[in-house]
Amino acid sequence: MDQHCFSFLESSFSVINDEAMAGEKHLVNGNYIDSIFRMGKAAEFITVSISEFEGMDWLITKGQKKMLEQLAYKGKIPNDIFKKFEFIRNLRNRVAHGYIKNKEDQAYTVHKDFFDIAVFFYRKYKDNEKKSKKAYGDWMNMKLKMN
């Protein structure tokens, strides 16, 4: 998979890109549980990165839930993005404990929500819209304009 929905992250955030690409590949192949895990891990990488970029490194040892709560409280992530992070985090935990219904639908929702998180993250922390437009084309341009 050379091109995927998260290719715009590749040059600036390769670790996040690799995890998201793996999650998308699992989704396409029908491995919904693995897709949810990988997207959840990519979301956690973004949470850690935001904490670092915002000079809130001390949050990293507190776990993703506390990081997200503090980042939202301090206004570093908007409420709609916080809710998407929380949905992915909670679903990933439920999957880890064996409780999930409609795993296909849930995996597609995680993919969509993670895409919104990734666009927010990229736009805020790598202010290079031209690069993302070049990397993904008109569909990405439209998504950037919607946010």
d(CA 38, CA 16): 10
Count Cβ atoms within 10 A of the Cβ of residue 69 and give its class: 0-12 exposed, 13-18 middle, 19 or more buried: middle
Please, which pLDDT band fits residue 96 given cuts at 50, 70 and 90? confident
Full-model pTM: 0.82
Contacts of 113 by beta carbon, 8 Å cutoff, 6+ apart? 84, 87, 88
Please, which pLDDT band fits residue 57 given cuts at 50, 70 and 90? confident
Q: What are 74-95's pLDDT values in tens digits?
A: 999 999 999 999 999 999 999 8
pLDDT value of residue 131: 41
Q: What are 138-147's pLDDT values in tens digits?
A: 433 443 444 3
Please, which pLDDT band fits residue 68 given cuts at 50, 70 and 90? very high
Work out the mean pLDDT of the chain and round it to a whole number. 85
